[in-house]
Chain A
Amino acid sequence: MKELFSPRWFKSRASESLPDEALRRNIERATETALKKRADVVGAFPEWESYRTAARAVKEHVLENLSSYLASFEEHARANGSTVLYARDGVEACALVMDIVLSAGTRTVVKSKSMTSEEIGLSAALGRSGIQAVETDLGEYIVQLAGEPPSHITAPALHKSRRDIGRLFEQKLGLPYSDEPETLTAVARSVLRDRFFEAGVGISGVNFGLADSGAICVVENEGNARMATTLPPVHIALMGVEKLLPDMRCLALFLDMLARSATGQRLSSYTSIIRGPKRADEWDGPDVLYIIILDNGRTDIFADSRFRSVLSCIRCGACLNVCPVYRVVGGHAYGSAYPGPIGAVLAPFFHGKEDGRHLPYASSLCGACAEICPVRIDIPRLLLLHRGETVRERRAPLIERFLMKAYACVVKRPALYALTGHLLRAFAPLATDEHGLLRIPTRAKTRTFPAPAEKTFREIWKEEGIGST
């Protein structure tokens, strides 16, 4: 059962990855670089804080007017010649894609990076029907070759060293070993170039949909999304229902924030604003464009006003880079397409309350994610809300429920509280050495339990009186 990629196994997977120092080095290098570059460009952007406020306000405004913006998007997209389809969940979305691919009569599909497609397991679904869905983003290509899911929202292979990738290419592609990033990239370029030409369908995600024009916007650095949306005769764009923006002025605002937050660039190399299929007098581009609008639990989040803000997320991945938990356990431990703090908020919605409840505990609630979030999502507060729900619904482990009950019982009774304090004080020395009775969680194995103060607070209070310090 443990092979199953699910948040249910967070604890055991996290303890597996904790001793992996190579993994930690890889993650640290990647996240540190991203954070440093981000700090540089954000530091040179004095309007940043007011942009964050505005970006969040725009997202809230869109959600409050979602039915009219959606209607407008659909109307304009259709007028531009795109076909707009809806999918209630991942199964429906995969079925729609499958139908299109089969009627296009192709066996090869090229994909550019799309978190939404990871969320619904699209590649696997296509694979089961004998259709080869080739990931074309370099990082995604690497993890696909390795048979692994991505471990980061914007840098899917960040957990791998150049040596890991060199060995992988040697094994899977039968090439002489090299660990030079330039050489490895050139290999991927040449293998994938042929795929782009052979594919009958290209699949992309959508970063933003523009309600006033029916256009979709795809942001990337490598050019693979441009290829996947230009070369195959059919383009399928998979868009979460919350991805709309009113117009291009709003797009300008979000473009200023997305790349800065994600990779520390002012703007990504390529931002494609696709207004529909190729025009009659144009020379290249897809003949047909399908836009699949996906719900898959989003309207459930929408219906719960406490969690609605999480739909503002632009998937920049900054909260992962800054998260002390993500940085030590890595993305795979989360067992979800969306790892890290934002993934922990989404998990109970995307994986169900039983499996998803583990991730909101994968946080120290330090608040770094809320501080860095370009759309000011208060992630720690949302994690606490999830935790509260888990407790109220009695899903927490028995031992935890018992201890919390006991704690509540003690703190409500002053005499009992004082007595317990004295007892713990008396027994504390047993916990301070390595043979102690109290077991401290794995992470703290190398630390010693602090010795309690000589006197309790109440004793000091009594002795020194109010007001003296």
Chain B
Amino acid sequence: MGAREDILHRIRSIVGDGPGTECARSELQEIFRGIPIRRIEEVIPTFCRHVNEAGGETSIVHSWAEAAHRVRDIHPSGPVFVAAHPEFREAGFSSLIQSASGRGEVLEVPEEGMELQVRDVFGSVFARNAAGVGRALYGFADSGAVLLVSSPFECRSLSLLVATHIAVLHESAIFPTFADAVESIEEYVRTSSPGALTLVAGPSKTADIEKVLVTGVHGPSRFAVVIFQNPPLASSTVGGGTR
């Protein structure tokens, strides 16, 4: 017998095939009925506070121009990689960042017809002092985390192989808890089928040496959320503002 059959056979001989999906579903419902609903007062301020406590920073903006200035405030010198989201393009976000005061190239990644591999771009010394500006699908007040999704418009390296990660998030996409957003996330996954979803709470950090907190171990040493208050982001491709 192969390993698969052997293991499955052992499990089946202990518990059988189980009572079936319908029964399992109702049993789960029953378990979840026993949990009180978590209430988070003042979702946006709580979100900001918890991002800060996780080592990140937040700011609220009302226009793309303001968002672009904010990006340059956070990362005044050094290259800026900007995700290729249609709504970023529509708003001319990368040119706005370019024209905001600050030193360093502004590049859209991935560029159309990009010849270089993403890993070559982000593996270069050039990227080590860069900021990556991308989108966050949702934010969660109770943890101060944002949800990133991989897509043709935003590569995973943009939020990982840079010194500073800046996530643009719509205010209306901030949920009290991750649990509250599960249905919306599942809906997004059904329609867009991303390879990976990543919850990010603060910068990369460690306390492996004498419990001393050090940020920027492997990933970004700075993490900032730019909360877009009004007007709302235009596109539905990222799913923000569906609530």
A181 with B209: in contact, given A255-B178, A274-B196 (CB under 8 Å)?
yes
Q: A230 — which chain B residues lie within 8 A by C-beta?
A: 156-157, 160, 196
Cross-interface CB contact of A275 among B18, B110, B195, cutoff 8 Å: B195
Q: Which of B12, B15, B35, B209 has the most CB of A within 10 A?
A: B209
Cross-interface CB contact of A223 among B145, B195, B210, B218, cutoff 8 Å: B218
Closest chain A CB from B214 CB (angstroms): 4
Closest to A188 in B: B217
Residues of chain B whose beta carbon lies under 8 Å from any beta carbon of chain A: 2-4, 6-8, 10-12, 14-21, 24, 27-28, 31-32, 34-36, 38, 50, 53-54, 110, 118-119, 123, 142-145, 150-152, 155-157, 160-161, 177-179, 182, 185-186, 189, 193-212, 214, 216-220
Closest chain B CB from A197 CB (angstroms): 5
A61 with B28: in contact, given A47-B38, A50-B36, A188-B217 (CB under 8 Å)?
yes
Which A25-56 residues sit within 8 Å CB-CB of chain B?
Answer: 26, 29-30, 33-34, 47, 50-51, 53-54
Q: How far is the CA of A241 from the CA of B12 in the complex (A)?
A: 13
Report the tally of A-B residue pairs with Cβ distances under 8 A: 260
Q: Decide if A284 touches B219 in the complex (CB within 8 Å).
A: no
Q: Decide if A193 touches B189 in the complex (CB within 8 Å).
A: no
Q: B209 — which chain A residues lie within 8 A by C-beta?
A: 138, 142, 157, 160, 162, 165, 181, 184-185
Closest to B151 in A: A282
A263 with B207: in contact, given A53-B34, A64-B18 (CB under 8 Å)?
yes
Q: Decide if A156 touches B208 in the complex (CB within 8 Å).
A: yes
Q: B32 — which chain A residues lie within 8 A by C-beta?
A: 54, 249
Q: Decide if A226 touches B219 in the complex (CB within 8 Å).
A: yes
| Interface residues as binary, A282-318 with B (CB distance below 8 Å gives 1, 0 otherwise) | 1111000000010100010011000000000000000
Cross-interface CB contact of A138 among B119, B178, B202, B208, cutoff 8 Å: B208
Q: How far is the CA of A50 from the CA of B36 in the complex (A)?
A: 8
Closest to B114 in A: A283
Closest chain B CB from A267 CB (angstroms): 4
Q: B206 — which chain A residues lie within 8 A by C-beta?
A: 138-139, 185, 221-222
Closest chain B CB from A10 CB (angstroms): 26
Q: Decide if B160 touches A86 in the complex (CB within 8 Å).
A: no
Q: Decide if A30 touches B211 in the complex (CB within 8 Å).
A: yes
Q: Is A58 an interface residue (CB 8 A)?
A: yes
Q: Decide if A285 touches B198 in the complex (CB within 8 Å).
A: no
Q: Decide if B150 touches A282 in the complex (CB within 8 Å).
A: yes
| Interface residues as binary, A257-272 with B (CB distance below 8 Å gives 1, 0 otherwise) | 0000001011111111
Query: Which of A65-73, A340-348, A353-361, A413-421 forms contacts with chain B?
Result: A65-73
Q: Decide if B157 touches A284 in the complex (CB within 8 Å).
A: yes
Number of interface residues of A (CB under 8 A): 95
Q: A138 — which chain B residues lie within 8 A by C-beta?
A: 206, 208-209, 217
Closest chain A CB from B215 CB (angstroms): 9
Residues of chain A whose beta carbon lies under 8 Å from any beta carbon of chain B: 26, 29-30, 33-34, 47, 50-51, 53-54, 57-58, 61, 63-71, 85-88, 92, 136-139, 142, 155-158, 160-162, 165, 181-182, 184-185, 188-189, 192-193, 196-197, 213, 221-224, 226-227, 229-231, 241, 246, 248-250, 252-253, 255-256, 263, 265-279, 281-285, 293, 295, 299, 302-303
Some 8 contacts from A to B, beta carbons below 8 A apart, are A66-B18, A68-B18, A88-B7, A222-B219, A267-B201, A284-B118, A299-B11, A299-B14
A68 with B118: in contact, given A293-B7, A299-B7, A299-B10 (CB under 8 Å)?
no
Q: Decide if A47 touches B218 in the complex (CB within 8 Å).
A: no
Closest chain A CB from B48 CB (angstroms): 14
- List of 8 A-B pairs having minimum Cβ-Cβ separation, nearest first: A223-B219, A65-B18, A139-B208, A283-B155, A252-B179, A271-B199, A223-B218, A267-B143
